[in-house]
Copies of this chain bind each other. A is one copy, B any other.
């Protein structure tokens, strides 16, 4: 990728409309010789691929399995290595929190310690979600503030929660307050810089009070915190690419990621049709749209090959409505692979197609991993997708004389 500041100097605002369709976890692996895409009946995507340029896209680089944070940042045109998003922030985005620059977040576990403070269960016996909610509520009532910092605690599933400290000048150069192993003593956080010392004192002050309060509530008699992080300072897509970007997704985490790069979040419904209706309703108002379809990833994570095939086929049926809007540049790809056989994100590259006026179509007949590999886009890193879309939307000036 051309250096950020050079790209920025080349961008020019035009009226052309760019649409990026992300089928979460689309890339797969063969079962009886065929990947999920190869097994699916997807006439609309196949036809679109035949009129597009195609390729294989690596979210980060060869062999690297990405989380949703870096894989999306890359698709949004940000170097996923330079722009890190901490674990705490990702968890907060996942439950739909709107973070400010004064917020320090962490991912938390309720856990069990013995009388010597040794961790004997890092998950407090996987207490029920209800029990965890109660505990969070109780803690929230007992401790609203510590040394000038507001504290908010948000329950997740089972023993998990998210914590947010809010105060000016909080720092996230902190070690995990979690030895990550049972049989070790629970510990506070340590500041990694001089500047973060006050923040460490606040967090440790909070933990001290929590331990006093939770002492009687075995098995959830302590908490472990990790992934201390603040919202990274990311220049917006409008600053970097002169785009007015909007996001259409149903899961909070993806909307949160979109907000991090300055996208407008559009209210939408639960179904794919709803998402496409939202695109249609707002098509005149923005010039970049990110539409996220989650079902493919969920089916992959479930290890349900057939369910993923069905999800792909369902998504295929909505493409005619997207094409009717005549976007100048349409990209269809995934953020990462989630092969059903692995039941998890993986390192495999994703197929990509780019449909626009000024291309030499590959004439590929199927939108699959192995067919797209034959296309002119070759195999390339995801962070190049936005420069390509901008170029195809005639939004980039010439570099050099």
Which residues of A are in contact with B by a Cβ distance under 8 Å?
Answer: 1-3, 6, 10, 29-30, 35, 56, 60-71, 80-81, 84-87, 90-91, 227, 339, 341-342, 344-349, 358-363, 369-370, 373-380, 384, 387-392, 396-401
Cβ–Cβ contact B370 & A376, under 8 A: yes
Which DSSP category, helix, strand, loop or mixed, fits chain A's interface?
loop
CB distance from A58 to the nearest CB of B (A): 9
**Contacts A68-B401, A85-B400, A399-B70 given; does A359 touch B62 at CB 8 Å:** no
CB distance from A252 to the nearest CB of B (A): 14
Residues on B with beta carbons closer than 8 Å to the beta carbon of A380: 62, 379
- The count of identical subunits is 2
Considering only CB atoms, which chain B residue lies closest to A65 in the complex? Answer: B398
Q: Which of B2, B35, B66 contacts A64 (CB 8 A)?
A: B2
Considering only CB atoms, which chain B residue lies closest to A71 in the complex? Answer: B400
Residues on B with beta carbons closer than 8 Å to the beta carbon of A1: 61-62
5 more contacts with CB within 8 A, not counting A2-B64, A35-B360, A373-B378, are A63-B384, A63-B389, A70-B400, A80-B400, A378-B378
Cβ–Cβ contact B378 & A347, under 8 A: no
Residues on B with beta carbons closer than 8 Å to the beta carbon of A397: 65
Cβ–Cβ contact B391 & A347, under 8 A: yes
Cβ–Cβ contact B61 & A2, under 8 A: yes
**Contacts A70-B400, A377-B379, A400-B80 given; does A62 touch B29 at CB 8 Å:** no
Q: Which of B69, B85, B346, B388 contacts A63 (CB 8 A)?
A: B388
Residues on B with beta carbons closer than 8 Å to the beta carbon of A389: 63
Report the separation of the CA atoms of residues A115 and B380 in the bound assembly, to the nearest whole angstrom: 56
Interface centre among A65, A69, A71, A389 (most CB of B within 10 A): A65
Report the separation of the CA atoms of residues A363 and B90 in the bound assembly, to the nearest whole angstrom: 39
Cβ–Cβ contact A6 & B63, under 8 A: no
**Contacts A360-B369, A378-B56, A379-B377 given; does A65 touch B401 at CB 8 Å:** no
